[in-house]
Amino acid sequence: MKTQGIAVIGICAAVYAVIGRLTDLGLTFIGVAFWPAAVIPAIFAVLYGPWVGGIGAAVGIFIRDMLFHGNPLLSLTAGVTSNFAMFFIIGYVSRRSLTWKKLVLSVGLAGVISAAGLLLPTFLLPEEFASVTGLPSWEIITVFILTVVVSLSVTAVVSLRWSKWRSYGVGSVIGQCVGAAIVAVGVWGYSQFFYSPTGYFTAPIQASLIPIVFVWTFATEIPFVLLAGPPVIEACYKAFPTLRSQRKTEEKAK
């Protein structure tokens, strides 16, 4: 990796950690925070490549977690791994040309995964779902369905109206699905072995709650990545034209 890439990773990690800590608003669901800051490493992944976005996000989330809950093992289990995978995928896919066939398959797959994660706990395990959320199942179903539908609709609209952001939109949906799955399984796995009356988790998380964590993670991040990412990236290209030319050079070399 070039010296510039290493320097940018440091910048990405620092900005991500600070913005993440300032914007999480203290809102968490089974240990997973409300996370609009996800757009930060997504922008770096597009501008500087998947390795910069992935490593910068991994380091940044680790710093943020140390400031938030101070548990390095939990951060490495769920936060670092998921963030690296998520933003590496966004950076990688955004630099590829996608046909409409690939686009439909990718968005359709993401939609199926999201719907499955939503329907399993709410319909098959309504009592457990209500006991954890404190809300009727139909309210949560409505909110999550609207969020997922809006997210996938925005991807479709971006692909139709602004074809140059097609790959970014698909990469964001796929990356978020992978990252959310790692977070959900990672948090559940950690809670099975490291819990105590005074610990971060006072009891093991039920496996039936994995889909809920998945949907929460996906739904609270993807709108910010899809809506805020493109205008900021475009502004960066206009302010620093060399970024666009450098990206085109790298794409031609592949």
Q: Which two tokens stand for residue 241?
A: 């034209």
Looking at residues 4-30, what average pLDDT do you find? 87
Whether the predicted pLDDT of 192 surpasses 80:
yes
pLDDT digits (tens, 9 = 90+) for 140-168: 566 656 666 666 666 666 666 666 787 88
Question: pLDDT value at position 97?
Answer: 73
Residue 131: the pLDDT is 61
Domain span at residue 240 reads 3-253
> What's the pLDDT tens digit per position in 227-251?
889 899 999 999 988 887 776 666 6
The predicted structure's pLDDT at residue 236: 93
Band of pLDDT at residue 53, cut at 50, 70 and 90: very high
Angle, CA of 108, 114 and 120, to the nearest 5°: 130
pLDDT at residue 80 greater than cutoff 90? yes
228 vs 114: which has the higher pLDDT: 228
Which pLDDT belongs to residue 57?
Answer: 97
Number of domains into which the chain is organized: 1
For every residue of the chain, which 3-state class applies, written as one string? CCHHHHHHHHHHHHHHHHHHHHHCCCCEECCEECCHHHHHHHHHHHHHCHHHHHHHHHHHHHHHHHHHCCCHHHHHHHHHHHHHHHHHHHHHHCCCCCCHHHHHHHHHHHHHHHHHHHHHHHHHCHHHHHHHHCCCHHHHHHHHHHHHHHHHHHHHHHHHHCHHHHHHHHHHHHHHHHHHHHHHHHHHHHHHHCCCCCCCCCCCCCHHHHHHHHHHHHHCCHHHHHHHHHHHHHHHHHHCHHHHHHHHHHHHHC
What residues contact 88, with CB distance under 8 A and at least 6 apart? Answer: 45, 50, 51, 53, 54, 175
Helix axes 137-161, 222-239, angle to 10 degrees: 30
pTM, entire model:
0.81
